[in-house]
Amino acid sequence: MLAALAINLAMLAATIVGGVLAHSLALLADGGHLISDVAAIGIALVAARLASVAPTAARTYGLQRTEVFGALFNGIGLVVVSALIVFEAIARFSDPPHVTGAAVLVLGLVGLAGNAAATIVLLGGERDDLNLEGVLRHSVGDALSSIGVVVAGVIVLTTGWNAADPVVSLLIAALIAASSWRLLKEPIDVLLEAAPAGMSAREVGEALAADPDVVEVHDLHVWTVTSGFPAMSAHIVVARECDRDVVRRRLEQLLQERFDIEHTTLQVVRAAGTGELLQVESPPGG
């Protein structure tokens, strides 16, 4: 992300100056997206640093969910940027200014090269990290924006149709808004403690209940603490004659191997209401 930040800062300076000199909204729209990228990477870096803070008695998970908040803020930022571009593009349709097509084309190609380089660097990171994924989506959106800028430059340069600039800007805004969907949906799902993406709580419960010593599974919850950190808890009723510890370990192994859930809290009680209760927590990795 530091490498991507350096690339984006260099492109931002060139794009903003070029957009003002060439009177190109497409370039300024691309610059606005770059501003959101720089902010997104900054938020992601701060969030990643905070997420590494050790747990305390007051915050037993530490600050791991700051990465989720960072991704959410980045998604909101993309929506705001796309709305501003749409507003300015509509205003320019009534009186499109003269656009310097050659400058737009050259800066679009420079931006495309830089965004491609930043995207390739970010693709080497951990894709399960929602925080990093947010930065990557910003970068991919920028690459698409740069392609739009190149197209606008070619059209203006070859036809003189200045309205191509706001038209392309609207397309860029649509791409930016589309890329924000996951960055809004997934953090909200995490904050609302929905089941992890692609995982069904019903399927988890049925897999636990299929164990021959399990009589009943209830009060089952599956959620995500932060990216790549699913957790679950459940009450398990087992047959009176079985060894509860053996069953618990077997169920934990099932959850880890089949669903990749390592952090589990299983409350195991024997059937027929004996009143005996055993609560065991398994830490991450064990």
Tens digits of residue pLDDT in 217-227 = 999 999 998 87
Predicted pLDDT of residue 127: 58
Pairing of strands 214-226, 229-238: antiparallel
141: CATH: 1.20.1510.10
Does residue 260 share a domain with residue 147? Answer: no
Give the residue from 138, 171, 191 where a domain finishes. Answer: 191
56: phi > 0 → left, psi -120 to 50 → alpha, else beta; which? beta
Most confident of 59-68, 98-107, 152-161, 197-206: 197-206
- Listing DSSP states for 74-141 in one string gives HHHHHHHHHHHHHHHHHHHHHSPPP--HHHHHHHHHHHHHHHHHHHHHHHTS-TT-HHHHHHHHHHHH
Task: Encode pLDDT of 43-68 as tens digits.
Answer: 878 877 887 888 888 888 888 888 78
* 51 within 8 A of 66, measured Cβ to Cβ: yes
Residue 171 has pLDDT above 50, yes or no: yes
Q: What is the pTM of this model?
A: 0.68
Say which residue, 127 or 203, is predicted with more confidence: 203
If you ran DSSP here, which 8-state letter would residue 195 be given?
P
Evaluate if residue 190 carries a pLDDT over 80: yes
Between 137 and 245, whose confidence is greater? 245
Number of folded domains that form the chain: 2
Boundary (domain end) residue, out of 162, 191, 220: 191
The average pLDDT across 120-139 equals 72
- Cβ 57 vs Cβ 151: under 8 Å: no
pLDDT band, very low/low/confident/very high, at 245 (cuts 50, 70, 90): very high
State the burial class of residue 283 (Cβ atoms within 10 Å of its Cβ: 0-12, 13-18, 19+): exposed
Proportion of the chain above pLDDT 70, given as a percent? 87
User: Are residues 216 and 123 located together in one domain of the fold?
Assistant: no
- What pLDDT shows up at residue 281? 43
- Indicate left, alpha or beta for 275 from its phi (over 0: left) and psi (-120 to 50: alpha): left
Query: Looking at the structure, do residues 52 and 158 belong to the same domain, yes or no?
Result: yes
Higher-pLDDT residue of 67, 260? 260
Domain holding 42, by residue range, is 2-191
Contacts of 121 (CB under 8 A, 6+ apart): 3, 4, 7
The answer, yes or no, to whether residue 282 has pLDDT greater than 50, is no
Token pair, residue 172, equals 């860029």
Mean of the pLDDT values across residues 17-41?
A: 74
Distance CA 134, CA 75 (A): 7
Residues 17 and 98 in one domain: yes
